[in-house]
Amino acid sequence: MAAHHNFYDPGPLPATVAVVIPPGGSAEVAATLQKDGATSHPLLFRAAAWLTRKDGPLHAGEYLVPARASLADILHILRHGLPVQHQVTFPEGLTSAQIAKILNTTPAASGTVAPPPQGAVLPQTYDFVRGEPRQAILARAAKAMRQKLATAWAGRDTTVPLASAQQALILASIVQAESPEPAEFPEIAAVYENRLAKGMKLQADPTVIFASSAGETSGGVPISRTDLTNPSPYNTYAHSGLPPGPICAPGLAAITAVLHPAASKALYFVATGHGGHVFSDSFQGQLKNIEVYRESQKENPGTRVPGFDLAAKETGSARGSPRRD
């Protein structure tokens, strides 16, 4: 009767704790539970585990043990509970080097990873259990991208000037890097697809940043006139067509945008200084939008895009560019 009473008695834990149960027998499990304060009676735990062995084995892993959990509660958790789920998030627009850095500094996973192929990982949040290899997490993220890209490509607007899902991924990475506003993605995609259809250079600033940073980043850095002449095949000011590969990991919104672009004839766009862009279908319209932007800065200098210089005036580029001289 006393043993039955102890089996169901509230335990000593004052609050919920995460307990990492090692592989091994009940002796190792009992020692771990005692160390973490989940039981004051390791021998009783071992006896209870043996007497209830028909209920199933004790599983290794990380489990949440609630405050005052009894031996019966703990045994049920270790036999039938779900391990603690950890999470890692890869935001849209990161380069492979940035993704690898996030994953390699994420606690609770094991091993290390090298940067994956550029654009291979689907940006989203991934669950994992303690000790899961980082390489396995990365493989799941790459599989998610392959599946989502294949589905999106199968449902594409067949009039888009893109020959393969890989080309869609490349252009989506440029669109992703161009704007923080997903609502603009279809219009930006239309600009670049219109330029492709006309044989115009894309002249996309993020490709210049990617080239000048040796693939470390695709945004957030002003560009210079020297950067525009970088011979890298990723520099779309220097080379026609798409770059040879993605410049970042695009999200589903950017992928969808390039496969279903806006019905637009726009060939240019320029920053408004408020986080968005305005679009035009002629170079003259682009120059007018640039002047509107410049005038707005005289009235609201605090909204100025850092380093904004108007490459469009010199090159006829797709957009006005943040520049450093």
pLDDT at 2: 47
What percent of the chain is predicted at pLDDT more than 70? 90
Mean pLDDT for 108-116 is 98
pLDDT of residue 200 exceeding 70: yes
**Closest residue by Cα to residue 120 from 138, 98, 136:** 138
Residues 46 and 103 in one domain: no
What pLDDT does residue 305 have? 47
Query: Is 297 a residue whose pLDDT tops 80?
Result: no
Chain segment 74-90, per-residue pLDDT in tens: 999 999 999 999 999 99
Q: Based on the domain organization, do 213 and 317 belong to the same domain?
A: yes
Per-residue confidence (pLDDT) for residue 227, from 0 to 100 = 93
Q: Which residue blocks in 88-184 are alpha helix, DSSP H?
A: 96-104, 134-154, 165-178
**Greater pLDDT, 316 or 192:** 192
Residues paired with 271 in a beta bridge: 277
- Find the length of the chain: 325
Q: Domain containing 314: what range?
A: 158-322
β-pairing verdict for 268-271 and 321-322? unpaired
Average pLDDT over residues 161-173: 99
**197 & 228 share domain:** yes
- Say whether both 168 and 262 belong to one domain: yes
Check if the beta carbon of residue 243 is closer than 8 Å to that of residue 294. no
Q: Tabulate helix, strand, coil % of the chain (nearest 5).
A: 45, 10, 45
Same domain, 34 and 166: no
pLDDT for 295: 74
Average pLDDT over residues 125-154: 99
Q: Which of 80, 111, 128 is the last residue of a domain?
A: 80
With a pLDDT cut of 90, the percent of the chain lying above it is: 78
Q: Which residue has the tokens 């091994």?
A: 24
Q: What is the DSSP annotation of 217-229?
A: -SSS--B-TTGGG
Q: Are residues 213 and 168 in the same domain?
A: yes
**Residue 312: pLDDT over 80:** no
pLDDT, tens only, 23-66: 989 999 999 999 999 999 999 999 999 999 999 999 999 999 99
Mean pLDDT of the chain, nearest integer: 90
The region of weakest confidence among 95-99, 191-195, 220-224, 296-300 is 296-300
For residue 260, is pLDDT > 70? Answer: yes
In tens, the pLDDT along 207-243 reads 999 999 999 998 888 889 999 999 999 999 999 999 9
pLDDT-derived band of residue 3, with 50, 70 and 90 as boundaries?
Answer: low
Same domain, 170 and 316: yes
Domain boundary among 52, 80, 108: 80
Q: Is 29 helix (H, G, I), strand (E, B) or coil?
A: helix
Do residue 313 and residue 208 come from a single domain?
Answer: yes
Q: Tell me, what's the pLDDT at 302?
A: 53
- Cα distance between residue 11 and residue 13, in whole Å: 6
The helix or strand, by DSSP H or E, that contains position 57, with its residue range, turns out to be none
Q: What is the pTM of this model?
A: 0.86
Cβ within 8 Å of residue 297, ≥6 positions away: 273, 303, 304
In whole angstroms, what is the distance from residue 275 CA to residue 181 CA?
Answer: 7
Residue owning tokens 């102890």: 6
- Domain total in the chain: 3
CATH number at residue 43: 3.30.1490
**Residues 103, 207: one domain?**
no
Is the per-residue pLDDT at 154 higher than 90? yes
pLDDT confidence bin for 7, thresholds 50/70/90? confident
Residue 115 and residue 75 share a domain: no
Residue 308's pLDDT is what? 43
Are residue 17 and residue 76 in the same domain, yes or no? yes
Q: How confident is the model at residue 188 (pLDDT cuts 50, 70, 90)?
A: very high
pLDDT of residue 5: 53
Contact 214, 233 (CB under 8 A): no
Domain end: 80, 97, 117, which one? 80
65-74, pLDDT tens digit by residue?
999 999 999 9
107 and 198 housed in the same domain? no
